[in-house]
Amino acid sequence: MMTRSDISAVDEFLAFSLPSDTAGQLARRDAIAKAMDSRQSTTALVVYRATGLVLIVGPEPYALSVAEELVGKVTLAILATEGNNPSAGLEKTVFTREIDGQIILVVTADLMNVGGHLGAFEVTVDVNGEGQNLAGLMNLTSQTFDVVLDLGREPAITLELPPPGYFAVSADRENMPKVLEEIAGLNGEFEKPQYVHYNPDICAHGERGITGCTRCIDTCPAGAVISIGERVEVDVHRCHGMGSCSAVCPTGALTYAYPSLSDTMNGLRRALAAWRISGMPAPCILLYDSEAGAEYLRTVCADFPDGVLPWRVEEVGSTGIEVWLSALAYGAAGIRILTHERTPGSVLTALAQQIELVRCLLEGLDHDGQSIAELPAVEFSSSDWPWGVDERVASDVATFGGVDNKRDALRLVFDHLTPESPPLETIALPAASPFGQIHVDTALCTLCMGCVSVCPAGALADGSDTPKLDFIEWNCVQCGLCERACPENAITLEARLLVDSETRLMKRNLNEEELFGCITCGKPFATKSMIDKISETLASHRMFQGDALDRLKMCEDCRVKSMFEA
């Protein structure tokens, strides 16, 4: 019997109150309550500190009229970007205006760049043809602004999700009162969770100056993930927690931390186990985000069929195939991911790619590929429920616990969902999927091992003292580094899933040669293909004519002796 505190805890988790009139509805509440039994992992906090220094950017008359609404609430400065005269000199570029007794610094200049975040915006302007720090130009103690209110016709920051503290309202003036109210409250210290953790040791972004995987950079709607050479960097202050970076990361170098993967898996496992005990048919899980998604469901939750299990996550983009397939393995009949008009386009694109991938995997494993799908809020209708139930999945329930390593979670899921007699040995997957093999053209490969040196996941290995190239397919994340590193263009990628678990983990040979022996002393020192390639390349070079060409076929000691004898 659920207590009043249990009911309140469930409502708080869901962000709305579910009906509790039928046996099925009570079983659903109990299942969610059981999922909340264990302690959730903690994550670090990201801190913003703001003192109320607000920069208004835009035409001076408009900026001054907006400033009137903020006078007395914040400290104001204005960058007048229209009607300025850059050649007039510095003394005419910086001046003051007074509004209701408050002095406001005004600079007329062209805006060059806005970078940073709440409490630390760096603004660069063009003054007399030179880029200058605007805060420095104003002789401010701080070299940054806390908040930027952009009134320009074209916003300085065009990201889908601009950094916290940046507001562009030129095209949305009806929203101005709400924006000004929010700005007035941005004074003090603010905290949010650190949504994403990064492990550079297993990142496949780059190696030895070669760029590989860029999935996280391409999908981040906030521009919070950037390349720093061979690795990436996550600006936790600009991050909005959309989570699609972690969902598309093939190695698990980027992991979502609020909640963690293991917490999500364990919560779903406990909820579905409790649901199963109630004797109810396997449920369809509805994933939704904690803000707009919860707001929308609050208006329709009374119409939820008993077979729908709502599950709130911070952002739906943070869930990927490892979460969805784990839910099926734990006994869910289907998954729907609720999206809405506030879901960023880049997140929708990433979701669509992940759904295409998971459908290929499910159909290849003889399951219903339609059991996982996006559910746009505009298409929501209670008449669509319950969705197609795949009893073959729902009746065979996994019991493995949650893990925080994405590849480990997927290995457990694939082992569980693979039927005893799978219809296919391999499953063809869309390009850029995180599973697959490589093909090596042995006629071109010289076993230089350049591919081994850049492989971030341990999929490729050399033969130590033997010239050979080995491959473990399960470790391959299809990042393309080996393909780009190969000087002979001997490598091509193939996205696929090898169905048999043992074969996936097995080391197999891709190329092997005997060592080439020195033509003078017989000492092995290279591969025959490498010597042939070098000899062919340098045969027409003037420095390698006659006996000089034969020196390429000698070990280092004999080569030196031959040169002295010559």
Amino acid at 37: D
The count of C-alpha atoms lying within 13 angstroms of the C-alpha of 13, restricted to the half-sphere facing its C-beta, is 24
Looking at residue 525, its pLDDT comes to 78
CB-based contacts of 390: which residues, under 8 Å, 6+ apart? 328, 333, 334, 367, 368, 371
Looking at residue 535, its pLDDT comes to 82
DSSP conformational letter for 544 = G
Sign of the torsion angle spanned by Cα atoms 202, 207, 213, 218 = positive
Backbone angles phi, psi at 21, to 5 degrees: -95, -35
- DSSP code per residue over 484-522: HH-TT--EEEEEEEE--HHHHHSEEEEEE-PEEEPTTT-
Coil/strand/helix, residue 556 = helix
Looking at residue 532, its pLDDT comes to 80
Residue where the block lists tokens 């003394």: 91
CA–CA dist 138, 136 (Å, integer): 5
Rg over CA atoms, the chain: 30
414: which 2 tokens? 């694939």
CATH of 428-512, one of 3.30.450.90, 3.30.70.3270, 3.40.640.10, 3.30.365.10: 3.30.70.3270
Residue where the block lists tokens 């386009």: 345
Exposure b/e, 118-133, CB count within 10 A at least 16 = b: bbbbbbbbebeeeebe
Please count the helices (runs of H) and the strands (runs of E) in the chain.
Answer: 19, 29
Compute CA 157 distance to the chain's CA centroid, rounded to the nearest angstrom. Answer: 21
Q: What is the pLDDT of residues 20-74, one digit of tens each?
A: 888 888 889 999 999 987 667 889 999 999 999 999 999 999 999 999 999 999 9
CB-based contacts of 130: which residues, under 8 Å, 6+ apart? none
**Is the pLDDT higher at 477 or at 541?**
477
CA distance readout (Å), 231 to 456, 477, 507:
11, 16, 28
CATH level 3 topology of 48-189: FAD/NAD(P)-binding domain (3.50.50)
CB-based contacts of 548: which residues, under 8 Å, 6+ apart? none
Looking only at the bridges linking them, the beta strands covering 372-376 and 334-339 are parallel
CATH of 194-256, one of 3.30.70.20, 3.40.50.920, 3.10.20.600, 2.40.30.260: 3.30.70.20
CA–CA dist 537, 540 (Å, integer): 7
Express the helix, strand and coil content of the chain in percent, nearest 5 each: 35, 25, 40
The count of C-alpha atoms lying within 13 angstroms of the C-alpha of 442, restricted to the half-sphere facing its C-beta, is 10
Angle at CA of residue 448, ends 447 and 450, nearest 5°: 115
Query: Burial, 466: exposed, middle or buried (Cβ in 10 Å; 0-12, 13-18, 19+)?
Result: exposed
The count of C-alpha atoms lying within 13 angstroms of the C-alpha of 452, restricted to the half-sphere facing its C-beta, is 18
Enumerate the β-bridge partners of residue 197.
255
CB-based contacts of 259: which residues, under 8 Å, 6+ apart? 40, 41, 267, 313, 314
Looking at residue 244, its pLDDT comes to 98
| Range 137-165 average pLDDT | 96
Q: What is the pLDDT of residues 445-461, one digit of tens each?
A: 989 899 999 999 999 99
CA distance readout (Å), 224 to 73, 120, 239, 316, 357:
30, 15, 5, 18, 25
Give me the residue spans of the domains in the chain: 48-189, 194-256, 272-417, 428-512, 515-565
**Is the pLDDT higher at 6 or at 17?**
17
Neighbours of 434 (CB within 10 A): 26
Q: What interhelical angle do 321-329 and 406-417 show, nearest 10?
A: 40
Three-class DSSP labels, 461-475: EEECCEEEEEEEHHH
Are 48-189 and 428-512 in the same CATH fold? no
Three-class DSSP labels, 87-107: HHCHHHCEEEEEECCEEEEEE
Is the pLDDT reported for residue 421 higher than 80?
yes
Is the pLDDT reported for residue 173 higher than 90?
no
140: which 2 tokens? 């401010």
Residue where the block lists tokens 């929501």: 380
CA distance readout (Å), 115 to 122, 144, 524, 540:
5, 10, 58, 55
Looking at residue 562, its pLDDT comes to 80
Is the pLDDT reported for residue 221 higher than 60?
yes
Amino acid at 480: G
CB-based contacts of 408: which residues, under 8 Å, 6+ apart? none
Q: What is the pLDDT of residues 229-287, one digit of tens each?
A: 999 999 999 999 999 999 999 999 999 999 999 999 999 999 999 999 998 889 999 99
Is the pLDDT reported for residue 426 higher than 80?
yes
Q: What is the pLDDT of residues 128-137, one digit of tens each?
A: 888 999 999 9
pLDDT band at residue 87 using 50, 70 and 90 as cut-offs: very low
Out of 83-87, 206-210, 281-285, which region has the weakest mean confidence (pLDDT)?
A: 83-87
Averaged confidence pLDDT in the chain: 91
Looking only at the bridges linking them, the beta strands covering 120-127 and 110-117 are antiparallel
Terminal Cα distance for the chain, rounded: 97
DSSP conformational letter for 456 = S
| Range 376-388 average pLDDT | 66
Q: What is the pLDDT of residues 383-409, one digit of tens each?
A: 555 455 555 566 689 999 999 999 999
CA–CA dist 476, 253 (Å, integer): 14
Amino acid at 112: M
Angle at CA of residue 494, ends 488 and 496, nearest 5°: 155
Backbone angles phi, psi at 411, to 5 degrees: -60, -45
